[in-house]
Amino acid sequence: MKDRTARLLTGALGSAIVMIVLLSVMWAVEIVDYVQNGSLDRYGIIAHEPDGLPGILFAPFLHAGFAHLMANSVPLLILGFLAAIRGISRFLTASLVIILVSGSGVWLTSPPNTLTLGASGLVFGYFGYVVARGLFDRRALDIVLGVIVAVLYYSILWGALPSQPGISWQGHLFGLIGGIVAAWFLRRRRRGVV
């Protein structure tokens, strides 16, 4: 029991550090972008344009101003922390899957030449990951975390539907899908089960 508690505390500390570093990078990028009059925003996802494909990797770190970044920061911190609690390498793999699925979905389904940026695909992805991880892994802690997250954040699911102009519901929807895919891909394999 003591060893388990120590592992949980170590995991929580590592999760907090990773999320603080990730958010610090996003804030630093936005400060540079502000100083350069938004010149970094062009590295976001440009739908249907081959030149917009690299934006799949860069878009989560770019935002359309400080208000946009502030809106993403708190849910990203909380959901990312919960997503990372089971291990940093799993978290990094899940993050990459979410970024690729979310960004590819945005690139393929957004109106042509639409510029999309922001970490909301990650926010929705971490939501999907934490909830689905409880379903796929069936560990008590993951189930409890999944239920808590589903109850507290269920209302964000409306953001995955076309509703507000200028907000990428595609990024939200495909981020959510990416989180579920990551949870399935990283699920704990049970012995004797194929």
Domain ranges of the chain: 2-185
What is the token pair recorded at 98?
């979410």
DSSP 46: E
Q: Pick the residue with more confidence: 161 or 53?
A: 53
pLDDT of 30 strictly over 90: yes
Strand partners, 116: 45
- Which stretches of the chain are assigned E, i.e. beta strand? 45-46, 115-116
Q: What percent of the chain has pLDDT over 70?
A: 89
pLDDT of 71 strictly over 50: yes
pLDDT of 128 strictly over 50: yes
The model's pLDDT over 37-63, given as tens digits with 9 standing for 90+, comes to 999 999 999 999 999 999 999 999 999
pLDDT value of position 70: 96
- Average pLDDT on 2-29 reads 84
Contact present, 123 and 79 (Cβ < 8 Å): yes
Dist. CA 176–CA 170, nearest whole Å: 10
Distances (CA, A) of 60 to 23, 43, 51, 73: 11, 10, 17, 12
Contact present, 114 and 58 (Cβ < 8 Å): no
Dist. CA 100–CA 105, nearest whole Å: 8
One of 1.20.1540.10, 3.40.228.10, 1.20.120.1200, 1.10.1040.10 is the CATH number of 2-185, namely: 1.20.1540.10
Q: Which residues of 134-172 are buried (b: 16+ CB within 10 A; e: fewer)?
A: bebbeeeebeebbeebeeebeebeebbeeeeeeebbbbb
pLDDT value of position 9: 63
Three-state DSSP state, 116: strand
**Mean residue pLDDT across the chain:** 88
